Amino acid sequence: MKTFGTDITTDDIVDSLAFFDTWEDRYRYIIDLGKELPPMEESLQTEENQVKGCQSLVWLSEHLENDRLFFEADSNSHIVRGLLAVVLAAYNGKSAAEIQSFNIEDYFEQLNLIKHLSPSRGNGLKAMVARIRDTASRIAAMA
């Protein structure tokens, strides 16, 4: 299974976004990142895997492999797929402890992202992060 976020790092994304002068170009880059997400199997696009709190349809599925969490994600929106890619770059292939300790707010601040999203997109982004962090907490509690 191909996973996104294990070859591209948060530093790569921060550096790439800093390269662009306008938010229009940055959005285009984020959308292009979303195009790199491998397609999610339709069998995983279930209500159970749907992220609540997102304006668009968003699905997030996880599996544990060698104490590392791997996520598959998809959305019916191009920009949201890009936002998923930004989030997966931070979390995919990490241990539950690494996910819990990663400062996602600082990452988003470096990207200067939240203030350039509509309130509903920002809330959706927070819902995606909350779902991943909740999964990591659940896995850590089982260990």
Active site residues: 54
Q: Give the separation between CA 45 and CA 65, rounded to whole angstroms.
A: 21
- Which candidate, 138, 4, 128, places its Cα nearest to that of 56? 128
Evaluate whether 55 touches 124 at the Cβ level (below 8 Å): yes
- Which candidate, 71, 59, 78, 79, places its Cα nearest to that of 133? 71
Q: Give the sign of the dihedral formed by CA 22, CA 28, CA 30, CA 33.
A: negative
